[in-house]
Structure 1
Amino acid sequence: AESAAVAREPLEIVKHLDDGSTVTWHRPASLEGLARIKKAHPDAKIIVGNTEVGIETKIVGKKYAHLVSVAAVDAVNGIRFDDAAGALVVGSGVTLSALQNDLAKRTNAADEKQYAAPTTFAAIRRILSWFASTAIRNGASIGGNVCTASPIGDLMPMLIACGATFDVAGLHDALATRSVPAHEWLKGYRRTAMEPHELLVAVRIPATPAPAIINGGPATTFFAANA
């Protein structure tokens, strides 16, 4: 118990590089602490599985002065069902494998007929089974896939179609949160609706999308405009 408590304490490590620059590794222990870092360093990169940043730094040659681990921030690492909203709330730091395993329990993988039912959870679980490889899914997070805003992102079309929403937080005088519909998230190539100081807290996935979302609703409008 004592070691677990120590692991939850904020941590900051500064590394001095050969070229004279520094890289600071942050590990906040709360959502407010994470938001405080993003406010002070808007260009800080949040790290979960490093599947994107690893490529950027090793192959593209990008350098980031501030890297942030969210491993100790409970608010972005859980999965729960919001009964009132009828939606699954997935923390942005949850890995795709963890989401896949959770959805497997909810869709009852042993029942092939239920697996094929047109529910949001079954559909996303099926998409995840084709997503990259097991090794990548074990490290990559849902938040990373959404926030990179890549045109080859696998999950955004599904999240838009099912009427998902994104919980975003940012620190002003106090911690403030807002909700962004998935169909309003993408603002261009690798650009999202988040302000530089904001961060993605969770993705809310409806159990079954409302007909208005699919039939002539926001999803239809988005895909028609971006065809």
Structure 2
Amino acid sequence: MDRLRFYLNDRLIEEPGLSPTLTLLRYLRDRAHLVGTKEGCAEGDCGACTVAVLEQDAKGAPVLRAINSCLLLLPMVQGKRVYTVEALKEGGKPHMVQEVLASGLGSQCGYCTPGVAMALLEACHRKDLDEPWKLDAQMCGNLCRCTGYRPIREAAARVAGVGPPDRFARALSETRPESMALAYSAGAQRYFTPASFQELWDVLDAHPEARFVVGGTDLSLEVTKRFTEPPLLVSLEALPVLRTLEPRDGGHRLGAAVWLTDLEDYARGTCPPLERMLRYFGARQIKNRATVGGNLCTASPIGDLAPVLISLGAEAVLLSRTGERRMALEDFFVDYRRTALRQGELLAAVEVPAQPVGARSLAYKVSKRRELDISAVSAGFRVVVDAAGQVLEARLAYGGMGPRPARARRVEQALVGQPWTEERLEAALPRLDEDFTPRTDHRGSAWYRAQVAKNLLRGFFQETLESPSPRLEAHHSATVQVR
């Protein structure tokens, strides 16, 4: 296909010859002249660029989701429906989210308001905003410097789940998914979205230097911040098997292309450690595009999914034309920003096994801001204790403590076979200094990281005394909760 094809505010758009690394934000403002969508940070932090995209969730159901248009490359909306703030007004009448924002004095200078309104639009059509903290999570990706958040949050509470019979409700009920398949070129750049594995292998055989992309929340920053133009991208978004999200053999299979929003919904009630980590992973707009595989394959030492999945004993499922191979997830990370993937191979899924009887498990994230921030230290812990109170197994994984996510094996060895008591834990903690040599950077000093890493284990001991995997409380202020 030599042109991009998508729907913009219900109007079919076909565009040839545009750079495949042109962001949706720049297209809206510079070519479509829809300037209600604003540019603030160009990295997914402020929410001024928020639009709504009609997607399919992990179950294949249509959903309307708020997304940062500054992080969406234009080919990522192939076959989809995109709505901007200009689409809210219908029949000359403002949408209810606009009316609620205006009547509640939720706007002053107005720069952030279009993005706020589009985040509210998603809230308006969500059916699961049944706890107050979810309203905070819905809106935390929208920065407003002058109004203050009280009227904005009040507006969110007023529209949450209302689901009015608007054009978006009609689109949700009437739209049928269109193919995202794409083989597109513009100048020296090429972008492929294969619809089958056979097509994928053929593309990789012809272009072994291709880079994979799905959500683009990391890769797109190279475009918006470093002004690079990757010459060859292969999207894995149109391969349904990579979006598998289901219980399996008492555990879970997490497809590499699963959106973190869907994973968070799935983990609620099925995997408390994952749910806890995802709560502070990023803003709603980020989690609506970020994927399991994207977070793991960047191999960042501060990627938040790796420690919790390693602690749960997860296994990486790798796929290539020659077949499947598996490895412990901790072995998937070989060095700073390097994985065990071979040429022509992709991460297809992560499988989390059934958890042992007597397992206590939780995950933690420490950052300068509570929400929408990068970890200074993150951790996932699982300790299996028998009926006599002896430690049978310990898996203590950390991020931010070295060039890659890794287990604190010396501390683990010091705990196994010992009684699970505060005294034994304190005796084992000094060995953490043998496991890691953290660095000092702008997120924290080496001393700070080492101290926090020990304190997280102390908090884990205290927090799991009464429940093996407690959920966060309704009014939590951090991932650590110790009474």
TM-score for both structures, normalised by structure 1: 0.78
Aligned residues of 1:163 and 1:219 also touching (Cα < 8 A): no
2:395 aligned with 1:224: no
Task: Measure how far apart 1:180 and its partner are.
Answer: 1.6
Match of 2:255 among 86, 91, 95: 91
**3-state SS in 1 of match to 2:221:** helix
What value does the CA root-mean-square deviation take over the aligned residues? 2.6
Aligned residues of 1:163 and 1:209 also touching (Cα < 8 A): no
Alignment: residue pair count: 199
Q: Deviations over 1:12-39 (max 9, x none)?
A: 00011xxxxx111101111232233334
Amino acid at match of 2:285: A
Amino acid at match of 2:343: P
- Cα distance in 1 for residues equivalent to 2:356 and 2:241: 25
Who is 2:225 aligned against?
Answer: 59
2:300 aligned with 1:134: no
Who is 1:188 aligned against?
Answer: 335
Task: Measure how far apart 1:126 and its partner are.
Answer: 0.8
**3-state SS in 2 of match to 1:195:** coil
2:335 aligned with 1:150: no
Amino acid at match of 2:223: T
Match of 1:15 among 186, 192, 198: 186
Task: Measure how far apart 1:183 and its partner are.
Answer: 1.3
Task: Measure how far apart 1:223 and its partner are.
Answer: 2.6
- Cα distance in 2 for residues equivalent to 1:165 and 1:142: 13
Going from structure 1 to structure 2, the CA distance change for 1:128 and 1:15 (only over 3 Å counts) comes to same
* Runs of 5+ consecutive residues of structure 1 not aligned to the other structure: 17-21, 108-120
Task: Measure how far apart 1:181 and its partner are.
Answer: 0.7
Aligned residues of 2:312 and 2:395 also touching (Cα < 8 A): no
Amino acid at match of 1:70: L
Going from structure 1 to structure 2, the CA distance change for 1:132 and 1:218 (only over 3 Å counts) comes to closer
Task: Measure how far apart 1:190 and its partner are.
Answer: 0.5
2:266 aligned with 1:102: yes
**3-state SS in 1 of match to 2:216:** coil
- Cα distance in 2 for residues equivalent to 1:52 and 1:42: 21
Select the structure with the greater relative contact order (CA < 8 A; seq sep ≥ 6).
1
The structure richer in helix per residue is: 1
- Cα distance in 2 for residues equivalent to 1:190 and 1:43: 17
Task: Measure how far apart 1:200 and its partner are.
Answer: 0.6
**3-state SS in 2 of match to 1:7:** coil
- Cα distance in 1 for residues equivalent to 2:319 and 2:294: 16
- Cα distance in 2 for residues equivalent to 1:166 and 1:35: 20
Amino acid at match of 2:309: L
Aligned residues of 1:96 and 1:138 also touching (Cα < 8 A): yes
Percent identical: 31
Amino acid at match of 1:29: A
* Runs of 5+ consecutive residues of structure 2 not aligned to the other structure: 1-175, 360-381, 384-392, 399-405, 411-434, 437-483
Q: Deviations over 1:135-188 (max 9, x none)?
A: 1111100100000001110011111111101110112xxx31111211101111
Amino acid at match of 2:255: G
**3-state SS in 1 of match to 2:408:** helix
- Cα distance in 2 for residues equivalent to 1:132 and 1:209: 30
- Cα distance in 2 for residues equivalent to 1:189 and 1:126: 25
Amino acid at match of 1:163: G
Amino acid at match of 2:261: S
- Cα distance in 2 for residues equivalent to 1:36 and 1:81: 32
Match of 1:204 among 348, 351, 355: 351
Larger radius of gyration: 2
Q: Deviations over 1:64-99 (max 9, x none)?
A: 22112222211111212223xx22111111111010
- Cα distance in 2 for residues equivalent to 1:69 and 1:153: 21
Who is 1:69 aligned against?
Answer: 235
Aligned residues of 2:308 and 2:397 also touching (Cα < 8 A): no
- Cα distance in 2 for residues equivalent to 1:153 and 1:55: 16
- Cα distance in 2 for residues equivalent to 1:31 and 1:24: 19
- Cα distance in 2 for residues equivalent to 1:187 and 1:68: 24
